[in-house]
Amino acid sequence: MPILAISILKTMWSKIRLAIYGTTALAGIIWPFYFIVQFTNLVRNGNIQGSVIDIGSAFFDDAWITPTSGFISADTAVLLIAIFVFYFAEGKRLKLRLWGIYYPLTFIISLAFSFGTFMFIRELEINKQLNETD
């Protein structure tokens, strides 16, 4: 395959990855917050009552209330550990600026948002470094 064709393919795949990561980050805001709104409505309607601590406890308890939700919660918790190690390793390896911001973003917004955003920024940095060496 000619060098130009390889270069075009690399650029195309990089743009596709950027689109996927960007879409994931956007969906990581919208979809999880849909469920936060649902929970907030339960609190407003009086279905969940008590102090802020009680309401917070109900929120986290509901993540484990059924075997299915427990499976997803456990799977996500284990995945979270691996992703946090990945943030550290890749952030240091690529010398990403502000790579540590993704830890709090995971809990403030969502794991899907922080991971999609991290991957987007990582892809940009990899492309930048490749272009500097070419």
**Which residues have a Cβ under 8 Å from the Cβ of 63 and sit 6 or more positions away?**
69, 70, 72, 73
For 29-80, write each residue's pLDDT tens digit.
Answer: 999 999 999 999 988 898 888 898 988 899 889 899 999 999 999 999 999 9
For 91-116, write each residue's pLDDT tens digit.
Answer: 999 999 999 999 999 999 999 999 99
Radius of gyration of the chain (CA): 19
Q: Return the DSSP state at 115.
A: H
Residue-level pLDDT at 134: 62
Statement: residue 6 has pLDDT above 70: no
3-state DSSP percent of the chain in helix, strand and coil, to 5: 85, 0, 15
Q: Note the pTM of the prediction, 2 decimals.
A: 0.85
Residue-level pLDDT at 97: 93
**Which residues have a Cβ under 8 Å from the Cβ of 127 and sit 6 or more positions away?**
14
